[in-house]
């Protein structure tokens, strides 16, 4: 882990000793190109009102203050005086997944250093009710807060699909994603998987969908694909390799008519190898 010490003389912090009971996770919420850890270091050094200990991007971790400093980041006295603040960069020209890996490595390091467990890792929302870290609190790049903390606790690289869906199911049941179209929008491509489980359908995963997402590169290749697809790997790979699989074209036709796969190039991408068969059927229906 590359920690760059750029200790700031910004005076905006308390002067007592931080007990480091918690590690508070924020996101910069700045998607501008170049809004990386070094840019935020300059922001603090120029006298920002808010201060925190570390900023993480896809290339490095920048340390702004020693852990024992009581920075102003949490929105409450207890949060400021008892926690280490970490800001995660979400700049559009950065690699989000690599940033997450760097953040997890830093958090594991700090947990070990201060003898803390996973319960000490909290969101900014824990202190102030602010929607922060926003992307981790929602579904972004297949990583949720539950998956994030589980990976830290297990010190593992990649969650299985089952872990991700289980986390989303529990959060949906708690009402975090609302209902109807709101739920559909927030869950995105995971909606059908989650809804199947909530509706009591034993079929957790739509293999067609996993095949298409695999072809599109969502799950990478080799060992990465194996880890991410988990117990679905062999079935998905069989389809891609053309070994065996029976696709219900009629079902895909009805779902296409309902608008699940969009139009034009979006439909073509989502239906993949089934596009021509489905489109042929639709053209017959409307001819």
Identify the CATH number of the domain in which residue 77 sits. Answer: 3.40.80.10
Which positions ≥6 away from 278 have C-beta within 8 Å? 249, 252, 253, 256, 271
| pLDDT band with cut points at 50, 70 and 90 for residue 205 | low
CA distances to 29, 95, 124, 253 from 172, rounded to whole Å, are: 24, 28, 21, 28
**Which of the pair, 45 or 259, is modelled with greater confidence?**
45
Inside any domain, residue 225: no
Higher pLDDT, 91 or 236: 91
Whether residue 18 is predicted with pLDDT greater than 60 in this model: the reply is: yes
Sheet strands side by side (includes 54-56): 3-5, 61-63, 54-56, 83-88, 22-27, 121-123
Residue 270: predicted pLDDT = 74
Q: Is the dihedral of CA 192, 197, 202, 207 positive or negative?
A: positive
Residue 208 in domain: no
Please indicate, yes or no, if residue 107 is contained in any of the structural domains: yes
Question: Could you tell me what percent of the chain has a pLDDT over 90?
Answer: 46
DSSP string, 164-198: HHHHHHHHHHTTTT-SHHHHHHHHGGGHHHHHHHH
- 255 pLDDT more than 90: no
Q: Which residues does 260 contact at the CB level (< 8 Å), separation at least 6?
A: none
pLDDT digits (tens, 9 = 90+) for 121-158: 999 999 999 999 999 998 787 788 988 998 898 874 44
In angstroms, the Cα distances linking 135 to 73, 186, 217 are 18, 11, 21
pTM: 0.60
Is the pLDDT reported for residue 75 higher than 90?
yes
Nearest to 187 by CA among 253, 252, 138, 243: 138
Give the integer Cα–Cα distance in Å for 54 and 62. Answer: 6
Q: Which of 254, 253, 233, 236 is nearest to 245 (CA)?
A: 236
Question: How much is the pLDDT for 156?
Answer: 46
Which residue, of 97, 122, 154, is where some domain finishes? 154
Question: Is the pLDDT confidence value at 211 over 70?
Answer: yes
How many other C-beta atoms lie within 10 A of the C-beta of residue 266?
A: 10
Question: 72: closest CA among 120, 12, 142?
Answer: 12
Its domain, for residue 70, covers 3-154
Buried b (16+ CB within 10 A) or exposed e, 124-160: bbbbeebebbbbbbbbbebbbbbbbbbbbeeeeebbb
CB 128 within 8 A of CB 85: no
Q: Which residue has the tokens 């929602």?
A: 138
Shared-domain flag, residues 18 and 149: yes
In a domain, residue 53? The reply is yes
Residue 75 lies in a domain: yes
Same-domain pairing of 8 and 125? yes
Same domain? 130 vs 30: yes
Question: In the 8-state DSSP scheme, what is residue 274?
Answer: G
Asked if residue 100 is part of any domain, the answer here is: yes
Q: Which of 39, 22, 133, 29 is nearest to 79 (CA)?
A: 22
Residue 217 has pLDDT above 60, yes or no: yes
Give the end of a domain, one of 103, 132, 154.
154
Name the domain boundary from 154, 170, 203.
Answer: 154
- Per-residue pLDDT at 160: 57
Tally of structural domains, the chain? 2
Residue 43: partners with Cβ closer than 8 Å, 6 or more residues away: none
* Residue 272 or 169, more confident: 169
Give the pLDDT of residue 244.
44
- Identify whether 253 is part of a domain: yes
Q: Give residue-wise pLDDT tens across range 95-130.
A: 999 999 999 999 999 998 888 999 999 999 999 999
Region 177-184: mean pLDDT is 87
Q: Has residue 266 been placed in a domain?
A: yes
Domain check: are 7 and 132 in the same one?
A: yes
């Amino acid at each position: 882990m590359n920690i760059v010490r750029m200790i700031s003389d910004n005076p905006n912090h308390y002067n007592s000793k931080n007990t480091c009971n918690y590690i508070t996770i924020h996101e910069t919420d700045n998607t501008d190109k170049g809004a990386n850890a070094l840019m935020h270091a300059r922001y603090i050094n120029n006298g920002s009102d808010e201060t925190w200990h570390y900023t993480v991007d896809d290339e490095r971790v920048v340390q702004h203050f020693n852990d024992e400093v009581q920075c102003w980041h949490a929105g409450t006295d207890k949060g400021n005086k008892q926690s280490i603040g970490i800001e995660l960069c979400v700049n559009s020209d950065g690699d989000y997944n690599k940033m997450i890996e760097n953040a997890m490595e830093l958090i594991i390091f700090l947990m070990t250093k201060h003898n803390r467990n996973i319960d000490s890792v909290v969101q900014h929302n824990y202190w102030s009710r602010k929607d922060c870290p926003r992307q981790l609190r929602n579904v972004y790049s297949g990583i949720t807060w539950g998956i994030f903390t589980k990976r830290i606790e297990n010190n593992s690289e990649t969650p299985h699909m089952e872990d991700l869906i289980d986390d989303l199911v529990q959060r949906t049941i708690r009402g975090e994603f609302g209902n109807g179209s709101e739920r559909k929008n927030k869950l995105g491509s995971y909606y059908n998987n989650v809804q199947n489980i909530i509706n009591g359908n034993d079929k957790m995963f739509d293999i067609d969908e996993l095949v298409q997402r695999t072809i599109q590169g969502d799950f990478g290749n080799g060992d990465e694909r194996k880890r991410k697809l988990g117990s679905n790997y062999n079935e998905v790979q069989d389809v891609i390799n053309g070994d065996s699989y029976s696709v219900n074209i009629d079902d895909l036709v009805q779902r296409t008519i309902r608008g699940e796969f969009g139009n034009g190039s979006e439909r073509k991408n989502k239906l993949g190898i089934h596009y021509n068969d489905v489109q042929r059927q639709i053209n017959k229906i409307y001819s």
